[in-house]
Structure 1
Amino acid sequence: MTREALKGREHYKAWREIGTRWADNDAYGHVNNTVYYQWFDTAVNGWLIEAGLLDPRRGDPIGLVVETGCRYAVALSYPQAVDIGLAVEHVGNSSVIYQLGVFAGNAPKAAAEGRFVHIYVDRESRRPTRLSERWRDALRTLRV
């Protein structure tokens, strides 16, 4: 089986540095796969908050993860800082597909690549809601 190569830093539009923690390593001595999903959530929601789009306590809409995945290429471990690259693959009526790259230090190629699909919903009803033009304009800055 041949796998497509993971993308380089040039693919991603926004960045977040995250330090690994002692508890991130599993019994095999590398960062456990579940931690990558925490990094993805932090990168996406951190960007949305900083862009003035998401207010986690009172804002509307809110994003629910409906699909996610990750491909791993290089093991990472504590103590090691990682850079999470963020890009947007697709913006639908109420959905966004995010692409995320995990980079060790200054490595040019990703150690892992993730995909997050969010559906944006009304906070109260939890029903899909159309993304505003303000959201669309901001998300376009991350499009690849």
Structure 2
Amino acid sequence: MKPDPLPRSAYRFAHRITTRWSDNDVYGHVNNALYYSFFDTTITSYLLTRGDLLMSVSGPMLFVVASDCAYFRGFAFPETVESGLAISAIGARSVTWRIGLFGEGEDAPRAQGRFVHACVDRTTQRPRAWPAEWVETFEAIRAQTD
């Protein structure tokens, strides 16, 4: 069942992504698999702005354990994707991200989805609790409603 599209105001962090010529498929629009890349780029950009994600140095790793995407309308090159990000759930060892992809200045998303990340110990690769500073980072963009 396709979810109701959430407006731009449902998101707490914004990021811009420029499409590339190579993103288009033979049908002349951005290939559906790239929307997941846009989701991942948005999340990573947020974590980098907060200083929590030290990719290969230290801290926990984030493993995607679930994801989905609802498509409402496509993108094509050349366009700018304006993404929105919020947290819809924070667990002891997981977090659920809500991501919306918008055309420039549009209020209705062209696609929206979710990523569920598990917090994993870098050495043992087993689930672990979030560090306190990460929980603060998640709380900073927790969605007001779901």
Runs of 4+ in 1 over 4 A off after TM superposition: none
Q: Secondary structure at the match of 1:93?
A: coil
Q: Which runs of 5+ in 1 are unaligned?
A: none
Q: Secondary structure of 1:99's match?
A: strand
The farther-off stretch of 6-15 and 126-135 is 126-135
Identity %, equivalent residues: 36
Is 1:7–2:41 an aligned residue pair? no
The code of the aligned residue for 2:10 comes to: H
Pairwise CA distance, 1:129: 1.1
Is the contact made by 2:12 and 2:86 (CA closer than 8 Å) also made in structure 1?
A: yes
Cross-structure match for 1:73: 72
- CA offset digits 1:40-98 (Å, max 9, x no partner): 11111111121011100212101011111100001110000011100000010110000
Instruction: State the Cα deviation string for residues 91-142 of structure 1 (Å, max 9, x = none).
Output: 1011000000000111111000011000010112111110122111111011
- Secondary structure at 2:42 match in 1: helix
The answer to whether the Cα contact below 8 Å between 2:72 and 2:110 also exists between their aligned partners in 1 is yes
- Where 2:58 maps in the other structure, the secondary structure is coil
**Which ranges in structure 2 are unaligned for 5 or more consecutive residues?**
none
TM-score, normalised by the number of residues in structure 2: 0.94
TM-score, normalization by structure 1: 0.95
Matched, 1:94 2:86: no
User: More displaced, 7-16 or 125-134?
Assistant: 125-134
**Superposition CA RMSD, Å:** 1.1
Partner of 2:44: 45
